[in-house]
Amino acid sequence: MTHKIYLGMLSLALLAGMAACTRETVNSDGRNPYGDPVLASIIFADNSVRPAKGFVNDEVLVRGTGFLKHKDKLEISFNGEKAEILEVTDSAVKVRVPAFASSGNINAKVGDEFYFGPFYNVFGPLQMDTVFPSLRGANGLINTIIAANDGKWLIAGRFNNYDNANKTGGVNRMARVLSDGKLDNDFEYGWQTGPQGDVNTAVYLENEQKFLVAGYFNRYARTQNVYSIARLNFNGTNDSALIELPSQNMAVGSSLAGGVRGSVYNMHVLPDDKILLVGDFRYYVKPNYSLTSSVGLDSMHLDSTYVQHMIRLHPDGVLDSSWNYDLQEHRGLNTVNGRIYKSEVLPDGKILIAGNFTSYQGQPAPRIARLNADGTLDASFNPGSGADLLIYDFYVQPDGKIIVAGGFNRFNGVPANRVVRIMPDGAVDPGFSVGAGPDGNKIDQIGLLPNGAIILTGTFRKFGNLTRNNFIVLNADGSVHPTYNTIGGLRYATASDNGSVTEILPVKGQNAVMMVGNFDMFDGRPANRIVKLMFE
């Protein structure tokens, strides 16, 4: 019995082996055990596009094989936009670059099958300035950029090299850039320069030719006890002061009397030269050098005053206790219950703030609020229920209307996918709509061109039905701009923080804007955290 079972099993195994040894699965020579390869229906030739770059409505010849036999089902697209097919042979297809085409891959489609083709640059009236040395740029995040005199810019971030300068000791988080994008060698670089921490925001003091910088640090260059705000000379050195100690020795300190413990995200110099700081901090601190230790040695102590998220300083850095302050309790008044991402001082002196908060001084403030000049809530600004999720950025137009962007889905109950425009009183503007808007989770930066076109950046792959990589330009009514969208988008760097654009700054006297952040590709070209965009 056992013998019969064994023979039966052997016979089944032999039959299974014979069934497996067919032409479809094993070649007789044993060199291809998985069968003959399935060849692609369409194969693009090397250097297959002529010309390799061009404009919308140009005729383009795409070479390869397999086009003719699929003529009836063949589709050719430019970065997702379907092109008009003009002529088909087996070795080439002639197409017209479609409206709303942008730089990206030319792809073929036959039914449900996709064939990825070559890269094609689409040019238009908004383009990256390829003369500007964006390739060299910065090797890390740029947080902010501001204009200085003579067409120069000050940049700050988390980089230690710019323009491949390879300075001894590095380009430590701060640099001054010439109008042509190259590093300004008259600024201070090297060991013991820059902040020990982050600079998030800066202001150029034109009358003094100095800079105010703020962020999160407790030392700037060689000067200690500099708390999250510093004043710099034009060459980048810290604007310091000599302080006489009880021993009559001298110490070097900041020219500003005090700062804050925590992070400053926004800074505004007011018409009276007072300084408004906005961020994530709880204490104003002021170094006190007038003390001695128990053994008679000089001693420094930090005098601390409770403040919350917002503070106003005198020009010398002393706390302004006339603003948003309880004189009896000797502390700042409570402000928001969450983070403020963006603030702006309006022409009438009022202050617009937005972020991830829901109240201000105990009153409802649904992620956006307007304050009176004295820091109290402005009741005439009524956004209703406001944004249902956080706001990253806003832009106040010259007409007072406010473009608002972030990670929200609705604004005051109205569907608003990541971006909305509101009236000066906070009501939703019905004359602005982005339709389906972006498919990603946020819009993080807004830029406005002088002609009214709106730049939006964020994390998205589509905007409505258009394939767009994190960059789109809109008309003033929220519709997609018909000619400013040939740019194929931007790619965020992955070496440090989550990718973002941090600033879009108009260039005075030019049809151009500067854009900085944490990206390393723009429109298919290397661009290390900084680009200059030219527009017609």
Q: Is 464 in contact with 480 (CB distance < 8 Å)?
A: yes
CB count, 10 Å around CB of 15? 10
Identify the pLDDT of residue 298: 81
pLDDT in tens, 131-142: 999 999 999 999
- Euclidean distance between CA atoms 431 and 398, whole angstroms: 16
CB count, 10 Å around CB of 186? 11
Q: Is 267 in contact with 279 (CB distance < 8 Å)?
A: no
Q: Exposed (0-12), middle (13-18) or buried (19+): which is 237, by Cβ within 10 Å? A: middle
Task: Say whether pLDDT at 35 is over 60.
Answer: no
Q: How large is the average pLDDT for residues 384-390?
A: 98
**What is the DSSP code (8-state) at residue 116?**
E
Identify the pLDDT of residue 37: 53
Q: How large is the average pLDDT for residues 284-305?
A: 89
**Rg for the chain, CA atoms, rounded:** 30
Q: Exposed (0-12), middle (13-18) or buried (19+): which is 131, by Cβ within 10 Å? A: exposed
Least confident piece of the model among 22-36, 224-238, 428-442, 506-520: 22-36
Please, which pLDDT band fits residue 293 given cuts at 50, 70 and 90?
Answer: confident
- Euclidean distance between CA atoms 16 and 25, whole angstroms: 13
In one-letter notation, the amino acid at residue 487 is I
Please, which pLDDT band fits residue 424 given cuts at 50, 70 and 90?
Answer: very high
DSSP calls for 214-226? EEEEEEETTEE--
Q: What is the torsional sign of CA 95, 98, 103, 109?
A: negative
CB count, 10 Å around CB of 48? 16
Q: How large is the average pLDDT for residues 222-234?
A: 96
- Euclidean distance between CA atoms 251 and 226, whole angstroms: 13
Least confident piece of the model among 9-13, 57-61, 218-222, 351-355: 9-13
Q: How large is the average pLDDT for residues 442-453?
A: 94
Kindly report the CATH number that applies to the domain delimited by 43-123: 2.60.40.10
Token pair, residue 75, equals: 């589709």
400/14: higher pLDDT: 400
Of 444, 439, 432, 483, whose CA–CA distance to 465 is shortest?
439
Task: Say whether pLDDT at 316 is over 80.
Answer: yes
Q: Is 443 in contact with 392 (CB distance < 8 Å)?
A: yes
4/323: higher pLDDT: 323
Please, which pLDDT band fits residue 295 given cuts at 50, 70 and 90?
Answer: confident
- Euclidean distance between CA atoms 162 and 144, whole angstroms: 14
Task: Say whether pLDDT at 516 is over 80.
Answer: yes
Please, which pLDDT band fits residue 240 given cuts at 50, 70 and 90?
Answer: very high
State percent of the chain over pLDDT 70.
91
In one-letter notation, the amino acid at residue 512 is A
- Euclidean distance between CA atoms 221 and 242, whole angstroms: 16
Token pair, residue 417, equals: 């996918």
pLDDT in tens, 39-89: 568 999 999 999 999 999 999 999 999 999 999 999 999 999 999 999 999
DSSP calls for 18-47? HHH-STTT--TTSS-TT-SPPPPS-EEEEE
Beta-bridge partner residues of 512: 534
Q: How large is the average pLDDT for residues 504-514?
A: 95
**In the chain, where does the domain assigned CATH 2.60.40.10 lie?**
43-123
Q: Is 223 in contact with 243 (CB distance < 8 Å)?
A: no
Q: Is 533 in contact with 131 (CB distance < 8 Å)?
A: no
Task: Say whether pLDDT at 38 is over 60.
Answer: no
Report in angstroms the alpha-carbon separations of 71 from 45, 49, 59, 91, 212. Answer: 18, 19, 18, 12, 64
Beta-bridge partner residues of 299: 291
In the chain, the N- to C-terminal Cα span, in Å, equals 93
Of 165, 201, 204, whose CA–CA distance to 185 is shortest?
165
Please, which pLDDT band fits residue 499 given cuts at 50, 70 and 90?
Answer: low
